Amino acid sequence: MRIVIVGAGEVGTHLAKMLSNEEHDIILMDDDTGRLQKLAGQVDLLTITGYANSFKDLKETGISKADLLIAVTPYEERNIMACILAKDMGALRTVARINNGEYLLDKYKEKLRNLGVDELIYPESLAGKEIASSVKQVGTRQLIEFSGGKLVLMGIKIRENAPILNKQFEELPQIETEVRAVAINRASATIIPHGKDYIRNGDIIFFFTTRAFQNRIFEMTGKEIFPVRNIMILGGSRIAQKTIERLGDHYNIKVIESDKVRSQEIADKFENVLVINGDGRNIDLLKEERIERMDAFVAVTGNSETNILSCHMAKKLGIKRTVAEVENIDFMGIAESMDIGSLINKKLIAASYIYKYTLGAEVAQAKCLTASDAEVFEFIAKEGSKITNMTLRDLSLPVDMMIGGIIRGTNAYVAKGDTLIQPGDKVVVFALPSAIRKLEKYFK
């Protein structure tokens, strides 16, 4: 596939690195020559200095022969224009990053599609959705729902109180029946577990299960589930506002924002939210606002260091549920080692969302795991595809991936050795980067 990426920021760079390991022809364009030169020394791709809204520069990328244009500069107007120009010049499919939620309304999406913008990606909205989900579901480091929650992937941190601590997976009868463990993140390495593998203190284990057995996983891992009613959000960014929209009117939400104008805007926009204009790094202010009474604390200031340290402090003050936006990808490992709770990176979320358009098989959903270098995909099994030919046990699937479960009609099932996938099934697959291309041949 010939893929042109416009914008060498963190989203474009991460995508380029992901795709360069596969058999794609990648062209990366940006107006910053220095940024391109730095990346060219790290990744095998072609770089071109140019502007997203220039016919001449886009033509230089060979856009007329492109299978996919991905426009992810910080400027939505340039991204939209790049898609319009690229489609006019012959690109088969286009994706634009936006920062205006209005464009996601059906009537406007249709207008943009008619102009040549096939897909829209709004990273802040995706991040807000993920944060809201994380706040609602306590006990997990990451929760991903498939088909409206019929099947779920739960990332759980194992502590000393977990009943399954120091046991082998084969000792747990519920594993492989109602629950399927697909990965262990241990000391920054991702392991595909087998029956003889032990569960260790500090592991993050990813389990697939159906909605009915979520509480069983919490029992196995010793997690205390508590209701969340009071939430403090540090920072009034677009992500914060999208999170508030997703949470709705069922929570007591308090926002601390240092900018006076933005504080007033948020107060006007959300009648059910109490907005405090002040510096959230001030411990005295947080104590004055009764931080210790909060059930959850969310840090989305746009400054990774502030978010990490404030969540660390919130944990020390006894808040059980904390979520930090960590935009500097290099800080993700450090933040995870500090044990500050769930981590959100809108660039990784956006890159995963876009990544599905580069796969030959039909993919309904793609998600990155923040505590792992792995990806989770929701494939749709096609008539005659290899995945439907025999049971999972007989398929000899690659060792660097695992099928977690399937959704068939209105029902969801955890995958087992004797599972036979049928055409039309949605198949949820956990895969390390080395397995992704191998997967396609099973679903084409």
Q: Is residue 288 part of a domain?
A: yes
Q: Is residue 328 part of a domain?
A: no
Shared domain for 15 and 115, answered yes or no, is yes
Shared domain for 360 and 305, answered yes or no, is no
Q: Is residue 326 part of a domain?
A: no
- Assign residue 49 the CATH number of its domain: 3.40.50.720
Shared domain for 68 and 7, answered yes or no, is yes
- Assign residue 148 the CATH number of its domain: 3.30.70.1450
For residue 371, the model assigns a pLDDT of: 63
Shared domain for 70 and 19, answered yes or no, is yes
Distance, in Å, from the CA atom of 200 to the CA atom of 402, rounded to the nearest integer, reads: 21
The total of structural domains in the chain comes to 4
Shared domain for 381 and 311, answered yes or no, is no
Shared domain for 242 and 312, answered yes or no, is yes
Residue 348: left (phi > 0), alpha (psi -120 to 50), or beta?
A: alpha
DSSP characters over 323-334: EEE---GGGHHH
Point out the domain boundary residue: 160, 191, 221. Answer: 221
pLDDT in tens, the chain (444 residues): 899 999 998 889 888 887 876 778 999 999 999 889 888 878 888 999 999 999 999 999 999 999 999 999 999 999 999 999 999 999 999 999 998 888 999 889 999 999 999 999 999 999 999 999 889 888 888 888 888 888 999 999 999 999 999 999 888 876 657 888 888 988 878 888 888 899 999 999 999 999 888 888 999 999 988 889 999 999 999 999 999 999 988 899 999 999 999 999 999 999 889 999 999 888 899 889 999 999 999 999 989 999 999 999 999 888 989 999 998 877 887 888 787 888 998 888 888 888 888 876 577 777 877 766 788 888 899 999 999 999 998 988 888 888 999 999 989 999 988 999 999 999 999 888 778 778 878 888
The length of the chain in residues reads 444
Shared domain for 215 and 262, answered yes or no, is no
Q: Is residue 335 part of a domain?
A: no
Q: Is residue 128 part of a domain?
A: no
Q: At a CB cut-off of 8 Å and minimum separation 6, what does 434 contact?
A: 400
Shared domain for 175 and 116, answered yes or no, is no
DSSP state of 382: P
CB atoms near residue 246 (< 10 Å): 16
Shared domain for 207 and 100, answered yes or no, is no
Residue 50's domain comprises: 2-121
Residue pair 328/302 in contact (Cβ under 8 Å)? The answer is no
Which residues does residue 232 pair with via DSSP β-bridges, in sequence order? 254, 297
Residue pair 256/322 in contact (Cβ under 8 Å)? The answer is no
Distance, in Å, from the CA atom of 366 to the CA atom of 357, rounded to the nearest integer, reads: 10
Shared domain for 103 and 159, answered yes or no, is no
Q: Is residue 100 part of a domain?
A: yes
Shared domain for 187 and 239, answered yes or no, is no
Point out the domain boundary residue: 221, 236, 251. Answer: 221
Which residues does residue 185 pair with via DSSP β-bridges, in sequence order? 190, 204
Q: What 3-state DSSP class applies to 149?
A: coil
Q: What 3-state DSSP class applies to 405?
A: strand
Mind listing the pLDDT tens digit for each residue in 323-369? Answer: 999 988 778 878 887 878 889 988 888 888 888 888 765 777 778 77
Q: Is residue 346 part of a domain?
A: no
Q: How far apart are the first and last CA of the chain?
A: 15
For residue 330, the model assigns a pLDDT of: 78
Point out the domain boundary residue: 206, 221, 236. Answer: 221
Shared domain for 382 and 425, answered yes or no, is yes
Q: Is residue 332 part of a domain?
A: no
